[in-house]
Structure formats: C-alpha cells, structure tokens
A and B are shown apart, each in its own frame.
Chain A
Amino acid sequence: MNLRWRILLALATAMFVCLSAQTASAISLRIDSAYTQHKVSSGKFPIHSACMMPPQGHLTRIGMKGAEGMAEESEAWAVDLKVIVESHLKSDGIAIESATNPFSSGASDGEISGVISHIQEKLNALSLLMNKKPGKIAKSAYTLGDQVGMLPCSEKSDILVFVQGVGQVLTSGRATMTFMVGGPAEAADVFITMADAKTGEIIGLIRLYPGSGFLHLAEDTFGRSLDDLLAGMNIGLARKNADARKQ
C-alpha cells in the first residue's frame, strides 16, 4: 500500500471513530424522558385543565468565530414551544388557561406578573436539584408552595405548566466543520414542568431533546415523542389517544 492510500485510510478511520463517538455520546445522554408523581400516573389525580405560565427560551448561534446570542429568535421560539405544548394538551382533552389572565379577580397586570415572577424564581431554585434527581418527583419531593394558589388561573386549573427551552443552532460554516471533524451539533433541551395548581407540588417533568431542525420543525422533531410521554404519564386523554393511534 503506498503512502497516499495509507494517509487516506488513516483519515477515514479517524473520521469514523470521531463520528461514532459523537453519535454514541449523543444517544446515551439525550433520551427523551418523563417523570411523574404516582397520584397522576395512577389516575387518582385526573387532569382536565392547565394554566400555561409564560414560556422561556434561550438560543445560541455558533459560528466559526464563536457564539452569539439570539434574543429575538429566542422569544419567538419560546412562544412556538408553548403553542405546541398547548396544542398537544388540548388534543388530550385538557382545557387551557393563561397565567396572565386576571379572570374576575380584579388584580392588576403588575400584581399578577409579581406573583408569576415569584413562582418562576422558586422553580429556578428547585431546578438545581430537580434536574439532577428527577426521580424524586414520584415521591412528591419538590414543591413550589401554595403561593401558586395566588394566580387567578389556579382556581380554574388542575395544573400549572412551565415550558422552558435551551438550544444551539450552527451557522452553515460551523455545521460543515462539525460534519468534517466533530464539534457542537444543532440540538435543544426542552423542559415541560407541571405543578399542582393548588398546592404547588411538582407532579410531572418531561425532558425532550430535539435535534437538527428543532428551530423550524419543532413539531416534527419532538411532537410524537411528547404524545408518547404524555400517554405514559397518564395526562388527560393521552393514554386513550395513544391506544387509539396504535389501533
């Protein structure tokens, strides 16, 4: 074998090893998952209505010269995520309310946003542990406290739903580089947290890891997985719908 062929073989081997390792790592770390409290999965706490909290999204664009923020796209993506989650919950027979709606409480927008801000602070504080040990959700280990009951929507809803996403997109140059020699991939982490609207207890957490195309094809990249996870958690009519789909 001459030198040219040897070099080519070495390069091909290196590329194969690099891509395989990258893929294996991605598969092992990024599996869609859901955690739920026993009272929900057993059907003792039926969910008929949900109050959607303002969504949060954070996108980063990675190029050849480093990373940069995507302020406007982040806001728009967060709204997209919320719309998708809402539509899936609705299709499972769950009525949707908005956390910012004062209903007949007479509360001002400022008062409501103050309560929302407090609740989100509490969730951020819990996230530290909840994302490390999500299995404890089944044992009712996490709670936002009954301050959630201060939200006007809590009276009409069974659960509060928080939608949060973190994602990175690549420029075309960076994507080519990743394909050739490895590096960051286009991917996102989407967290959907559910809390009892009266007690604040965290009753469910869904973690989704959509890959390439998540920004413009959000429904395609995780919609089906979301349905399956909701069915597994026994949220609304999700289980019945899943059974119907199978038939």
Chain B
Amino acid sequence: MSRSLSAIFIFVIFGFLEAQQPSPPSQPIPLSVHVSEGPGSAFKFTRVDNDLRAEADAVDAQYENRGLVLHDPDLQAFINSAGNRVLGGRPVPEKITYRFLVLRDPMVNAFALPNGSVYITTGLLALLENEAQLAGILGHETAHIYERHPYLENRSIRKKTVASEIIAAAAACVPGGYTTWLATAAAANVSTLLLVESVYGYSREMESQADQDGLAAMTAAGYNPHAMAVAFELLDQDRTLEYEPYRTFYHDHPNLIKRREEALAFADAHTPASARTGLEKDYVTAVAPAIVSNIDTDIESRRPRTAVARATRLVDAFPGVAQYQVLLGDSYRTLGAKTTFPTPDELTPEGEDRQRKKVLKMTELEEQKALLNTPEGQATLKENQAKAEKAFLAAIESNPQYALAYRELGFLYQDESRFADAALNYRHYLQLVADTSLDRLRIARRLAEVEKLQTATPN
C-alpha cells in the first residue's frame, strides 16, 4: 500500500533531445558532487526488457497520435536546453534515446519511459517557478533512466503483482474508469505494465536514489539545488487546490515533506556560490504555451481553481496580453459559485472527505446549484462574474480585434441573463472571426437563442 501511495503517474510529452551529442555542463562539477551514470554495461537486456522497451515506443506513439504532446518550438528548445544541461557529459546508456517532451495533461506529474522519453506535464510546468526547478525534475526523471529503474521495477512487478491488481489498475484508468488523467488513459490503452508502474510508482529506495542523483546532476549542471527544495514546497501547497481521486508521486504529502528536507540537506552541503536559479519572468515567458494549454484543460477537467491560479500568474506577468486576460475571465466564469481558494473548512480532514464525496457524487452543475443555495455561494458567484467581466473588458481594451474576448463575454452575459448584451457580443464575434471557423455555427445558434430570449425577456 505504501508503494501505491507513493505512486507516480506518467504523462505527457514532447520533442527531441540531442542526446547523442550531449552538451558539456557549463559549470565545473563541484568535487563533492558525484553524478551517477547507472549500472552501464553491467545491465543485461532480457526478452522481457526488450518487450517493455517496445511498449514504451508504443506509448510514445499513442501520445503523439492522440495529440497529447505539446509541440511548440520555443518551449521545446527551452526544455531541451535544461534537459541537456542536466545530462551533462555522461555517456548515454545502451538502447536509450533521450527525448524531453511536454505532455498536455492537467495532472502535476513527470515520468520517464524505459526507452529514454522523459515526459513533463503541462500541469507541472505551469506550477514551477524557474529553470532550476525544472532542471531538478528532469534530473530526477533522467536518473530513473540511468539507473534502469523502469526495467528493474518491471521485472519485480511481473514477479509480485497478481493479475487482478493489474486489471484493477488498468480499469481505473481507461475509458469508463475513474480518471481524468489524459495520459494515463492513453498509456493504459497501450501498455498495462507501464501503466501499473506509473500507478504503483517505483520502490522507495529507487525514488530516493533518483532524488539524490537528480540533485547531484542539477548541481553539476550549475543549477542551485535549493530550487528543488522550494519546488517540493510548491508541490505540497498546490495539492490542496483541487481534489484528486489519487495522489500522484509529485502530490504525495508526507513524501514531499521528507523529500524537501533531504533536498535542503543536500543543497546546504553542496551549493556552489555561482549556482543559478533563473528568473521567474524568464521561466513564465518560456513555458507560457504550456500554461495556456493547461488552463484550457483545467477548465475542461473541472479544475477551475487551478485555472484561475495559473491565468492570474500569466496576467500578472504580462498585463497587456488579450489572450491571457480572456483565459482569466473564462477561468472565473467557470469557477462560478466556488471560492478561489479552499475554505478553512475544506482543508480539514472532514472537509476534504466531503469534497471527495462531492466530486464522486455530484456533477459540476449540481455542485454549483448546491453552492447557490447559500448566501455565500450567491455572493461568490457575483464576485467571480464581476472579475470575469473585468478581465474580458480589459482584453477588448488591449486588443479590440481579439474575437475570443467578445465570444466569452457573450457567454458570460448569457449566463447572467443579459441577453441583449450577449447578442451584441456574439454579433461582434461573428464579424471578426474567419468564415471557416468551426465555431461560427455554434455561436450563430447561440445568437438565435439569445435573440429569442431577448424578445421574451427584455433586459
């Protein structure tokens, strides 16, 4: 059970690393830091290992086919740069091609496949604050690959796990199961064993080793290992924002506290004076496409608080960008009668239990209706709608030609039964948007609907 609680989930994406000719670390490696290269040629491949590698290739293909890998050249270059620095001059292990990919998944997670593909989710990228934290995560995941953990764990699982457990894990993560984790569902479609590895996580010893190796690798690459301790703190704070049916490895509370302490101990002993962390503004600029993608997915996946938090971050960093202002407005509109942060009651064990039951028993609509039965819920709805309107109007002011701002404002006014205002904004949207837009028909339908309602109920 402790293994399942320290679970990892795997997912999402991305591009090609120039791992065959890794760039040398830009900083000299501190003498006290040893960066592991794993078992090297001592690891002998068996048929089972080769099968697993083939399954990993299939998972890569599945993610691509399902459009789960986020392709953005600038973002990719940034991730590759951090990943290559962490790899440093170490030899590439046999049958490994390092690739660092961004997975379009709201879950806060990162994972490594046995073929060398390292996935970091948009959910995790949107949470981190700087390049050094990213390097720490990539250092941890590449350490799993160097140490051959996926293969070793797979051999172990085959011996220990009974079929019923595997099927139960798979059933929880496939269509009709109990997950909104896009990448998990996709992986389950291809490789049950890889899925189980992700669900049950690696052994405590392996995770601890990957933490230590990752810290050493990021330090050797010139990054400040204190950043990793801060990242664990961020992950611990973030886990209370939304209810998750399962805790992923990167959201596992007791483990995060322990890992933070270990990272701090390492950093205190090994941080060189010249270690770099990177500016938050530079980081947000580089990963903005991932944050944008993640906000969309958060909104679709019933995670409006996370959407508000991430959109607020974008707007604070880039105040005049209409696209980000629209995302913020849309996040507040989706939040509805829910508060931006969990209430003190929600943070108690009993409150958390109630939240869990709510998510498993009520639809989003039913939850909103229940909240609106209280004066607090009604006040929160008005407050959030006002914030949404402010964000949409700011977007129009920033860029009057930005069509989506009118569409979203129309949605908001329709929610508020301001049909004349909604109709005006839908018309504006239809004037600005291209004739081939897939959304024209939908908005035309909405326009007809609000015009009808406007006649029946004048503003």
Q: Is the CB of B442 within 8 A of A147?
A: yes
Also in contact, A128 and B245, with CB within 8 A (given A58-B188, A60-B170, A67-B167): yes
Q: Is the CB of B175 within 8 A of A164?
A: yes
Chain A residues contacting B445 (CB-CB under 8 Å) are 146, 149, 198
B138-175: contact bitstring with A at CB < 8 Å (1 yes, 0 no)?
00000000000000000001100101101100110011
Instruction: Please give 8 more A-B residue pairs, beta carbons under 8 A apart, in addition to A62-B163, A67-B193, A117-B67.
Output: A66-B158, A71-B62, A128-B178, A128-B180, A133-B361, A136-B363, A141-B363, A168-B167
Chain A residues contacting B166 (CB-CB under 8 Å) are 60, 66-67
Once the chains are docked, how many angstroms separate the CA of A149 from the CA of B441? Answer: 7
Interface residues of A (CB under 8 A from B): 56-58, 60, 62, 65-69, 71, 74, 105-107, 111-115, 117-118, 121-122, 124-129, 131-133, 136, 141-143, 146-147, 149-152, 154-155, 164-166, 168, 174, 183-184, 189, 191, 198
Once the chains are docked, how many angstroms separate the CA of A126 from the CA of B362? Answer: 11
Chain A residues contacting B182 (CB-CB under 8 Å) are 121, 124
> What's the nearest-Cβ distance from chain B to residue A26, in Å?
14
Q: Is the CB of B175 within 8 A of A150?
A: no
Once the chains are docked, how many angstroms separate the CA of A121 from the CA of B360? Answer: 18
Interface residues of B (CB under 8 A from A): 51, 55, 58, 62, 66-67, 157-158, 161, 163-164, 166-167, 170-171, 174-180, 182, 185, 188-194, 245, 296-297, 300-302, 359-363, 365-366, 435-436, 438-439, 441-442, 445-446
**Residue contacts A-B, CB under 8 angstroms, 16 given:** A56-B175, A58-B170, A58-B175, A67-B163, A67-B170, A71-B55, A105-B436, A124-B180, A124-B185, A125-B301, A128-B359, A136-B363, A151-B438, A164-B176, A183-B164, A191-B176
Q: Is the CB of B297 within 8 A of A121?
A: yes
Once the chains are docked, how many angstroms separate the CA of A6 from the CA of B361? Answer: 52
Q: Is the CB of B177 within 8 A of A114?
A: no
Partner of B190, one of A74, A115, A136, A147: A74
Q: Is the CB of A118 within 8 A of B300?
A: yes
> What's the nearest-Cβ distance from chain B to residue A101, in Å?
13
Once the chains are docked, how many angstroms separate the CA of A113 from the CA of B65? Answer: 10
Q: Is the CB of A189 within 8 A of B176?
A: yes
Chain B residues contacting A165 (CB-CB under 8 Å) are 175
Also in contact, A122 and B438, with CB within 8 A (given A67-B166, A69-B55, A69-B192): no
> What's the nearest-Cβ distance from chain A to residue B429, in Å?
14
Q: Is the CB of A155 within 8 A of B167?
A: no
Of chain A, the residue at the smallest CB distance from B194 is A69
Instruction: Specify which of A67, A126, A127, A191 lies most central, judged by the most chain B CB atoms within 10 Å of its CB.
Output: A67
Q: Is the CB of A121 within 8 A of B442?
A: no
